Amino acid sequence: MRHATVKELECLANQPSFKKHLGVHPGSYADFSNYYSRPKNLAFICSEGAMLFAHAGDDVYETHFLFWPRGGARIMRAARRMLAEMFTVYGAAAIRGCPPYGHRTVRAIGVALGFKKIPGKIVTDTVGRECEVYEIGAKEWAALSEGSSEQVPAS
């Protein structure tokens, strides 16, 4: 796992399967050239894909998954390492995910990682889709990862 470059994020996001889930229309280009213009925005990449962490203020981040569909347990391990990095190294207070209603797999991954649905909280994403909001806080992460190898990121 390492920090992702803009070029790597664009390469992943512009794959047909990711474009569909990101709401990028065929023939359009997912442009990440301004992603790092916000100083606290982060993204990590590994062989299973990437996770983006867009800083929303007060050490709260909104995450986006870009994982290859083949990975099951490997995706979960990679996501846990990335979350551990955010909570233990970057001091995230909370991490939110806002999957559109039709994205059951993304919701399932989030719930398996410990994200909890915020009842009644609905947001609209940048392409107009209604999304449920899920969140995990630093205290919840610490309790879930206590005694786990994901508590402190591997170097």
User: Is there a domain that residue 115 lies in?
Assistant: yes
pLDDT at 149: 55
Q: Which residues span the domain enclosing 36?
A: 2-145
pLDDT tens per residue across span 81-102? 999 999 999 999 999 999 988 8
- Are 117 and 133 in contact by the 8 Å Cβ rule? The answer is yes
Is 73 buried (19+), middle (13-18) or exposed (0-12) by CB count in 10 A?
exposed
pLDDT of the chain along its 155 residues, tens only? Answer: 999 999 999 999 999 888 877 888 878 899 999 999 998 999 999 999 999 999 999 999 999 999 988 778 999 999 999 999 999 999 999 999 999 888 888 899 999 999 999 999 999 988 888 999 999 999 999 999 886 655 444 44
User: Is there a domain that residue 78 lies in?
Assistant: yes
Whole-prediction pTM:
0.89
pLDDT at 134: 97
User: Is there a domain that residue 150 lies in?
Assistant: no
pLDDT at 147: 60
Contacts of 50 (CB under 8 A, 6+ apart): 4, 8, 9, 12, 43, 44, 66, 67
User: Is there a domain that residue 152 lies in?
Assistant: no
Q: What is the CATH number of the domain that holds 104?
A: 3.40.630.30
Token pair of 69, please?
A: 């569909």
User: Is there a domain that residue 153 lies in?
Assistant: no
Q: Which one-letter DSSP state was computed for residue 103?
A: -
pLDDT at 152: 44
Contacts of 54 (CB under 8 A, 6+ apart): 35, 38, 41, 61, 62, 63, 64
In 3D space, the residue among 101, 107, 105 whose CA is nearest the CA of residue 135 turns out to be: 107
- Number of structural domains in the chain: 1
User: Is there a domain that residue 155 lies in?
Assistant: no
pLDDT at 13: 93
User: Is there a domain that residue 120 lies in?
Assistant: yes
User: Is there a domain that residue 92 lies in?
Assistant: yes
pLDDT tens per residue across span 23-36? 888 788 999 999 99
